[in-house]
Amino acid sequence: MTPARRTELFLDALLALLGPGHVQLRDADIAGFTRDWRGRYQGRALALAEPADTAQAAEVVQLCAAHEVALVPQGGNTGLVGGATPDASGRQLLLSLRRLNRIREVSVADGVLVAEAGCVLQTVQQAADQHGMLFPLSLAAEGSATIGGVLSTNAGGTAVLRYGNARSLCLGLEVVTPRGEVWHGLSSLRKDNTGYDLRDLLIGAEGTLGLITAASLHIFPRPAARRTALAQLGHVRDAVELFQHARGALGAGLTGFELMSAHSLQLVRRHFPGLARGFQPDAAWCVLLELSDSEGDEHAQQRLETLLGGALESGLASDVVVAQSLAQARELWALREHIPLAQAQEGLNIKHDISVPISRMAGFVESTAELVMQALPGARLVVFGHLGDGNLHYNVQAPLGADGPEFLARHQELCNRIVHDAAAACGGSFSAEHGVGQLKTPELLRYKSPVALDMMRAIKAALDPQGLFNPGKVLPHLPPGP
């Protein structure tokens, strides 16, 4: 049978299964799904398939296995490393989970919410809130990112410090395997020590080992009060010291601790002048803190004012702003959340999603800035991120007035070497929360040990022997082991 005939039979079977309204074949109809959010990758797809439920998703996978068609799972298409973008061959099936968008169950007694993979993160947050509960995973793309996507990349967000990343918030999964079988692993149990932890293996695998179709998620009682504040500081080492004081004074109540450089906030004001108009920081760094309190507003306010008052008296902070209302708190958080959007408005830039031990954060920032500026004079450093869990988005913008795409093409490899080598020298990682996708597969070869790569390759071969699940993502093409 010719490849063309095999493709024709596959598409006929796919149309018969899902119906013509849920299989898109024309490039014009698929265009919005074949380009990644950053505009770095543009692929082509054989078709876009949209199953209605887990059973249909399993049947689609069975068709792919029978006809040897590779598939690329896609949620909200908000990833930053090209993990949900097909290649340029036009032979891969884009499998969208957006129709799997039901909240199946909310159990306050168990502290569990069961959501399908296509549920938008914000929808899950709202469903928990309607039951007086909290799903704490929060990130800038929460209005479009889906549960399947954030679990596939093990997303972090702004509340990792207290609640952990996506893996920590997931109790169980429903997954379609590369053979088209369904693993019914949804669970409300906190303890289940019965063999290999398949859940944790599949979370963060970026769709290369299985297709997540639903998840049971850990939800929490809403805090009695929240307080948000912003402190201005002179140096990253001051931010690290303030974090140590905050952790000691606020304990588990310290929900967020975000670091932002002055330049990153300048970009926000340039492209989004309506945000926080009255806030004009004059310090090199700012820290955004959030306190969740179980007792009430007055208790939360007193704790935060005591902490920040001490920072002012000691000279650790030069100024502080404490939000006096929910609206003011949202304004402060909007500054942080609009940094990536402001960077996108400014033009293409070299992004880094690194993690280093908090104790080495200040040294890393200082020494790496010197190395980058020596190699790329005039480059603008846009540094921000989750200092509380050691995760920085250490981004390098082209010099003012320079051509962004040209700067990216000429300097990305050199800049990656500088930043990633510096992170590795500190005992850090080149990918903290964005994943590997197709952007960072070369880095995996450079920084992962051969033993680790062999183990990963063995797992991939065992679970996906045909190599049809999101090929070319996470694991680079490696020669066979000895």
pLDDT digits (tens, 9 = 90+) for 309-334: 999 999 999 999 999 888 889 999 99
Q: Report the share of the chain in percent with pLDDT over 70.
A: 98
Residues 288 and 354 in one domain: no
- pLDDT over 90 (residue 158): no
Residues 114 and 217 in one domain: yes
Residues 265 and 295 in one domain: yes
Evaluate whether residue 116 is within a structural domain: yes
Residue-level pLDDT at 480: 41
Residue-level pLDDT at 182: 98
| H helices, E strands: number in the chain | 16, 19
Residues 196 and 123 in one domain: yes
What CATH number has the domain bearing residue 254?
3.30.70.2190
What CATH number has the domain bearing residue 171?
3.30.465.10
Length of the chain: 482
CA–CA distances in Å: residue 309 to residues 242, 245, 295, 348: 12, 12, 21, 40
What CATH number has the domain bearing residue 15?
3.30.43.10
Q: What is the pLDDT of residues 5-37, one digit of tens each?
A: 889 999 999 999 999 999 999 999 999 899 998
**Angle in degrees, 0-180, between the axes of helices 339-346 and 262-271, rounded to the nearest 10:** 70
Separation between Cα atoms, residue 448 and residue 445, nearest integer Å? 6
Residues 6+ positions from 385 with CB-CB distance below 8 Å: 258, 259, 391, 392, 393, 394
- pLDDT over 90 (residue 259): yes
Residue-level pLDDT at 276: 67
- pLDDT over 90 (residue 297): no
Residues 156 and 244 in one domain: no
Residue-level pLDDT at 1: 72
Residue-level pLDDT at 478: 47
Residues 141 and 123 in one domain: yes
Residues 117 and 87 in one domain: no
Evaluate whether residue 462 is within a structural domain: no
Separation between Cα atoms, residue 26 and residue 6, nearest integer Å? 19
Evaluate whether residue 46 is within a structural domain: yes
Residues 204 and 270 in one domain: no
Overall number of domains in the chain: 4
Give the global pTM: 0.91
Residues 25 and 64 in one domain: yes
Separation between Cα atoms, residue 178 and residue 157, nearest integer Å? 29
User: Where is the domain boundary, 63, 96, 129?
Assistant: 96
Confidence band for 278, pLDDT divided at 50, 70 and 90: low
Residues 291 and 197 in one domain: no
> Which residue type is seen at 392?
L
Confidence band for 481, pLDDT divided at 50, 70 and 90: very low
Residues 208 and 143 in one domain: yes
Residues forming beta bridges with residue 261, ordered by sequence position:
285
What CATH number has the domain bearing residue 370?
3.30.70.2740
User: What integer is the mean pLDDT of 267-293?
Assistant: 87
Residue-level pLDDT at 155: 92
Q: Report the share of the chain in percent with pLDDT over 90.
A: 83
Residues 71 and 107 in one domain: no
Q: Are the C-beta atoms of 287 and 318 separated by less than 8 Å?
A: no
Separation between Cα atoms, residue 470 and residue 87, nearest integer Å? 10
Q: What is the pLDDT of residues 403-448, one digit of tens each?
A: 888 998 999 999 999 999 999 999 999 999 999 999 999 999 999 9
Evaluate whether residue 29 is within a structural domain: yes
Evaluate whether residue 480 is within a structural domain: no
Evaluate whether residue 461 is within a structural domain: no
Evaluate whether residue 437 is within a structural domain: no
User: What integer is the mean pLDDT of 254-274?
Assistant: 93
- pLDDT over 50 (residue 479): no
Q: Under DSSP, is residue 345 helix (H, G, I), strand (E, B) or coil?
A: helix
| Domain span holding position 192 | 103-221
User: Where is the domain boundary, 323, 340, 357?
Assistant: 340
SS3 content of the chain, % helix, strand, coil (to 5): 40, 20, 40
CA quadruple 309, 388, 336, 111: dihedral positive or negative?
negative
Residue-level pLDDT at 477: 60
